[in-house]
A and B are shown apart, each in its own frame.
Chain A
Amino acid sequence: MREVYVVGIGITSFTRLEYPLSEIAAYPATVALKEAGYPKVDHVYVANMASARLNHQSGLASAVVDSLSLTPAGATLIENGPASGGSAILQGFLGVASGMFDCVVVTGAERLREVNNLEATDAVAALSHPLAEQIYGVTLPALAAMFTRLYMQKYGVTERHLAMVAVKNHDNALDNFFAHIHEKITIEGILDSPEASTNNPYVAEPLRFFDCCPVSDGGACVILASKEVAQKLGKPMIRLAGVGQATDTHCVHERAEPTELLAVRGAASQAYKMSGLTPAHVNVAELHDAFTILEIAESEEVGFFKRGEGHLALERGETRLDGKLPINTSGGLKAKGHPVGATGVGQAHEIVLQLRGEAGKRQVKEAQVGLTCNFGGFGNNVVCLIFKRED
């Protein structure tokens, strides 16, 4: 396999966007293409979950490649639920690594705010099993809540730990111009004060409003290319050093141990193996905190902390911006936002910024290796990526 490098990145604000979905997908690609010096593009991968259902647009990749005036380059839409973005990067990686393509655009986009929150929740709930979960009213927050209760019982995680994730990620997002939420929160305000039950009501008990990511629109892009293309640019060389993807049962109730996220573990171990790196090499990570509990559980499953000890590392401040392994410096899904198809690409965008040393106030000093974990469904399809700066 050939080595694969990131030669350009672009992003939109994650927020409510009043642009057509195809523009939300194409705009970050224009930013990335400019940065990469307008290379010849062989293929465009577009990641999106719900365009046909929510935006009355099918064949989104064909619209995006044309809007970017990159025809006749090939174009492919990748729908893999919330892991669409990571999956599209993995496919782009394969295209370049195989030698078939020299340069590919991977762009992710979603426009959920075209509909109201309940309809968006229903569209996302379509990820669950139609006959064994959906008919009961199962939503993604419901699955996360049932997982949280088991995790609390088994490992002693409390609502306070969950709130710590939210506070940390909101703090990080304050320094991210593109984040959906720029609002400082405190444990007192969301848990302890007399107003906490109105400030922070239950969504799916024991998960509260501030345990759940917002419903966002947004787009993000990375351009992947061969070493020859990357070297011509004279920029820091950021290599996509490892990729991994694994799946798990569709129904959460069919998992032998319902507190384990085997797909996260499998995807991460493949990515480590390919890159020749270990969890100890990672300086910065973007984990899929669609719900606060997931940042804690994933930090264990990708090997940063022992099982059941992620919340202790959080308590010690190890995952804060000034800690030894900062997690979700962008604000994560929790505060940066979760435009479903764009999310996995947005995670890669943040890691590349960090490795280039371009993350501004939220820069992790001398970051050399970064990991992303993009979590689809309720952990039934997960992609992990490892990026490495090569000087």
Chain B
Amino acid sequence: MPLEILAYKCRKCGELHYPLRMVCRKCGENEPHEFDTVPLPKSGKLLTFTTVHNLPPDFNVAKLTLGIVELENGMRITGQLKIPTPKMGMPVTGKVEIVREADYSKNYGIVFYPA
């Protein structure tokens, strides 16, 4: 089964959120954490990006490219980019991979490639 990033759909009003929050941003009246999970689409267009040259010490790389992607359903997500020359507005497609390893913890997140 492919790994997914989940969006959270309010059981009261249907509003989608990413990441998880306790109370719905739209209706504000759901029971705490009462959301249905829905996989986020993985394709979209690159809204903005940066290459960071000054990373927290546990990333054993000199630089890393990050971006915000507007997904097919209009939601946005922050992720890493494996794109040699990113351009604003370019179509991208994501995969869920390990994005940060610190000590014994492995964090999975989304990595975008050119579509």
Contact A149 B50 (CB under 8 A): yes
| Residues of chain B contacted by A145 (CB below 8 angstroms) | 50, 52
Residue B100, interface by CB 8 Å: yes
Contact B76 A254 (CB under 8 A): yes
| Residues of chain A contacted by B59 (CB below 8 angstroms) | 137
For window 100-132 of A, CB contacts with B under 8 Å fall at 117-119, 121-122, 125, 129, 131-132
CA distance A391 to B59 in the complex (A): 56
Contact A205 B50 (CB under 8 A): yes
CA distance A353 to B33 in the complex (A): 49
Contact of A146 among B18, B56, B57, B66 (CB under 8 A): B66
Contact A136 B66 (CB under 8 A): yes
Closest chain B CB from A135 CB (angstroms): 4
| Residues of chain B contacted by A10 (CB below 8 angstroms) | none
Residue B91, interface by CB 8 Å: no
Total contacting residues, chain A, CB less than 8 A: 35
Residue A141, interface by CB 8 Å: yes
Contact A253 B68 (CB under 8 A): yes
Contact A202 B51 (CB under 8 A): yes
Contact B56 A136 (CB under 8 A): no
Contact A251 B19 (CB under 8 A): yes
| Residues of chain B contacted by A254 (CB below 8 angstroms) | 17-18, 25, 76
Residue B77, interface by CB 8 Å: yes
| A-B Cβ contacts below 8 A, count | 98
Residue of A nearest to B70 (CB): A253
Total contacting residues, chain B, CB less than 8 A: 31
| Residues of chain A contacted by B107 (CB below 8 angstroms) | 135
Contact B19 A132 (CB under 8 A): yes
Contact A132 B18 (CB under 8 A): yes
Closest chain A CB from B39 CB (angstroms): 16
Contact A118 B76 (CB under 8 A): no
CA distance A119 to B57 in the complex (A): 7
| Residues of chain B contacted by A146 (CB below 8 angstroms) | 48-50, 66-68
Residue B109, interface by CB 8 Å: yes
CA distance A336 to B61 in the complex (A): 31
Closest chain A CB from B98 CB (angstroms): 10
Closest chain B CB from A136 CB (angstroms): 5
Smallest CB-CB A-B distances: 3 pairs = A145-B50, A122-B56, A253-B76
* Apart from A121-B56, A146-B49, A149-B49, 18 more pairs, CB < 8 Å: A117-B54, A122-B56, A132-B18, A132-B19, A133-B78, A135-B107, A136-B99, A139-B55, A142-B50, A142-B66, A145-B52, A150-B48, A153-B88, A203-B53, A204-B51, A204-B52, A254-B18, A254-B76
- 21 inter-chain pairs at a CB distance below 8 angstroms, sorted by A residue, are A119-B57, A122-B56, A131-B20, A132-B77, A135-B107, A136-B100, A136-B109, A137-B55, A137-B64, A137-B66, A138-B66, A141-B54, A146-B48, A146-B49, A146-B50, A149-B50, A150-B47, A205-B51, A206-B50, A252-B78, A254-B18
